[in-house]
């Protein structure tokens, strides 16, 4: 039996991505865009499902980006038809059809599909008091779609920096302003797209810096940029897109979030971040939760969240001490916690981690919300190809859809590309 082909997913050079988006804009609207902006997807090194629990996480921005060619729509002096300053027209190279509507009509439940993530940002900025008008935009992206690498946040953040610049808001000029842009993107996703995600993805896309992982404290929004150059240590972070469908809007993610909030309420703390004595907290939940609650299930959810923030702290210390190889076993421990306590893994994610570690990876885990998507493996640089080959072979033997791969390097944040 021949070895399966390893499919790598390359990132576009920014100049190519910008050119693609601009060309698509001209073809769609017959005019030049005001510019092209882009934002990266993200992969989270450690700290999963901690963001909405006030915990810590450690993402990096990927070289894979979403590009948005955009132009404002000023009103004609004579009020001529076709120059409605409230109108938004959207198209995507990845999606069939287009969306058109007026900003004044946008609200929760009013915009279907992918367009909600884009126009929702304009709505959220308006809700925050910013004078944002209508626009035309075309999207093109090399962030793997449905892979748990934050293609939705990349879209939101590319639109956010575009609107920020064309309307002179100045928020993208410093980190505090970028935090406000991230908040608008989170609100767009939560309220307009209806996906109750946390804030890590948007923070990573807007606030990461090249060559660094972003230590994000979700309790107060503070950050620390930790040098993250794996190649200098002869290592690489291999991402496995399992091609298992990745959906966060089917209720599973929301259920986990509700369970965590129920636990925090029962313990009398704002978030699970305030839990210091884990054993005492787990014992207390037996009597503190309301009658009928799934006590054992909620205990497992709490154990994962609290222990994963502690794993982020451990990885921070290991990176600071240049003990980068020791990060591997922490990743594998985190995967077991996500699989057994948080119950968000699936067969493909487990197989990706097991086969990678079996082929010599230093460690690995599922990333993102779970229920499909991607896994990561910390590997020696010389082992990227053999580990990918082993994972692809394991999937073929199991009769699963062939996975795809990319090597994650820590890149820069959202901004203008052309």
- Per CATH, 7-227 and 230-408 having the same topology is answered no
**78 pLDDT tier (thresholds 50, 70, 90):** very low
> What are the residue ranges spanned by the domains of the chain?
7-227, 230-408
pLDDT at site 196: 80
> For the segment 293-303, what is each residue's pLDDT rounded down to a tens digit?
899 999 999 99
Mean pLDDT score, 262-270: 97
Mean pLDDT score, 46-59: 97
pLDDT at site 148: 85
pLDDT at site 76: 54
> Nearest Cα to 360, choosing from 193, 235, 177?
235
CA distance 50 to 59: 12
**Of the CATH numbers 3.30.230.10, 1.10.3720.10, 2.40.50.1040, 3.40.710.10, which one belongs to the domain with range 7-227?**
3.30.230.10
- Look at domain 230-408 and name its CATH class: alpha beta
Mean pLDDT score, 133-153: 94
pLDDT at site 254: 85
pLDDT at site 247: 56
- Please state the pTM of the whole predicted model: 0.94
Mean pLDDT score, 40-62: 97
Per the CB < 8 A criterion, the answer to whether 35 and 289 are in contact is no
Residues annotated as catalytic (active site), given as ranges: 201
Q: What is the residue-wise DSSP string for 93-147?
A: SSSSSEEEEEGGG--TTSS-TTHHHHHHHHHHHHHTT-----EEEEEEE-SPTTS
Per the CB < 8 A criterion, the answer to whether 295 and 285 are in contact is yes
pLDDT at site 3: 79
Per the CB < 8 A criterion, the answer to whether 177 and 171 are in contact is yes
Number of neighbouring beta carbons within 10 Å of residue 219:
15
Could you tell me how many residues make up the chain?
418
Mean pLDDT score, 98-112: 96
**359 pLDDT tier (thresholds 50, 70, 90):** very high
State the chain's maximal CA–CA distance in angstroms: 71
């Amino acid at each position: 039996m021949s070895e399966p082909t390893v499919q790598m997913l390359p990132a576009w050079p920014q100049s190519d991505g910008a050119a693609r988006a601009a060309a698509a804009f001209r073809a769609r609207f017959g005019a030049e865009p005001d510019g092209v902006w882009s934002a990266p997807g993200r992969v989270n090194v450690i700290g999963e499902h901690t963001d909405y629990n006030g915990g810590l996480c450690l993402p990096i921005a990927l070289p894979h980006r979403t590009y948005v060619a955009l132009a404002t729509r000023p009103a004609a002096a004579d009020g001529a038809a076709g120059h409605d300053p409230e109108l938004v027209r959207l198209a995507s190279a990845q999606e069939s059809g287009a969306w058109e509507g007026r900003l004044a009509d946008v609200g929760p439940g009013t915009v279907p599909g992918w367009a909600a993530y884009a126009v929702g940002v304009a709505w959220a900025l308006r809700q925050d008091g910013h004078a944002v008008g209508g626009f035309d935009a075309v999207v093109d992206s090399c962030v793997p779609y449905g892979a748990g690498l934050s293609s939705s946040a990349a879209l939101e953040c590319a639109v956010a920096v575009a609107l920020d610049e064309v309307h002179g808001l100045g928020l993208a000029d410093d980190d505090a302003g970028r935090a406000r842009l991230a908040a608008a993107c989170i609100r767009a996703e939560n309220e307009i797209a209806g996906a109750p995600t946390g804030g890590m993805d948007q923070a990573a896309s807007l606030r990461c810096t090249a060559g660094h992982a972003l230590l994000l404290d979700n309790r107060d929004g503070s950050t620390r940029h930790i040098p993250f150059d794996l190649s200098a240590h002869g290592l690489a972070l291999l991402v496995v897109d399992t091609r298992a469908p990745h959906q966060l809007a089917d209720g599973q993610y929301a259920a986990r979030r509700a369970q965590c909030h129920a636990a925090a309420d029962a313990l009398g703390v704002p978030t699970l971040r305030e839990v210091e004595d884990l054993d005492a907290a787990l014992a207390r939940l037996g009597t503190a939760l309301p009658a009928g609650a799934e006590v054992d299930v909620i205990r497992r959810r709490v154990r994962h969240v609290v222990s994963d923030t502690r794993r982020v702290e451990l990885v921070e210390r290991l990176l600071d001490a240049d003990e980068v190889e020791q990060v591997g076993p922490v990743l594998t421990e985190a995967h077991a916690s996500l699989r057994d306590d948080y119950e968000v893994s699936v067969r493909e994610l487990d197989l990706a981690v097991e086969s990678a570690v079996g082929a010599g990876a230093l460690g690995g885990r599922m990333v993102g919300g779970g229920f499909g998507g991607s896994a990561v493996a910390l590997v020696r640089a010389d082992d990227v190809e053999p580990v990918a080959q082993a994972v692809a072979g394991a999937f073929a033997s199991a009769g699963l859809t062939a996975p795809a791969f990319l090597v994650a390097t820590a890149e820069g944040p959202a901004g203008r590309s052309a």
